[in-house]
Structure 1
Amino acid sequence: MPDRQALCGILFVLHTGIQWEYLPQELGFGSGMTCWRRLAAWNEAGVWDKLHLVLLKKLRSADRLDWSRAVIDSSHVRAARRGPKAGPARSTAHVRAASTTSSPTPRAFRSRCP
């Protein structure tokens, strides 16, 4: 199957959110499993990273990058250095609060069901 057809199938699945096995054969993208294998192979070969760099270079040279809506998600950005080690959290209460999950009174153990 040509790469263009596989790419269109991959984009269709990613855009619609359908499962790979439900990719309609009538669209001419091949089977969902074929598209999935091609996606995995391209990922393994580093195609997506290379494509990302090419697109960034073209956008930068055309001054088409808009950083006003950029967001950094800390779950995807590695911390360069560890921060200072925090000690145990200080309590803000003068007295320990009563437990809300258990009670020492006999009433707490009685069932309300008849």
Structure 2
Amino acid sequence: MKIDEVATQYQVSNSTLRYYENEDLLGPVNRVNGIREFKESDLEQLDFIICLKRCGMTISQMKSFMALYQKGDSTATERLTILQKQLQTSRDNLNKLEQSIEHLETKINDVKALV
């Protein structure tokens, strides 16, 4: 799959994909005649990067995690700890967001009562 197709499918820019590759988060992506050709494994890795980003993990944290991943199974405990911590942070953020949504809904209902 070419870079334009990947960018469209994952709703990211071409420059974002290049950035992820330059930061060693993705790839290295195979090139055919100088054109990036994304394999299924690249897309799976990109999907995980996007997941981590949405969960609030910084590029620096992702790079650290990927460096551990590249070291192999000996880092499984460390990686598990990082992922569990990020999951808890994401759950905490979700809880805060749900509370904010409830608060907004209450305010909306208060304003609707005035209309």
Give the TM-score normalised by the residue count of structure 2.
0.25
Higher relative contact order (CA 8 A, sep 6+): 2
Larger Rg: 1
Greater helix share, 1 or 2? 2
TM-score normalized by the length of structure 1: 0.26
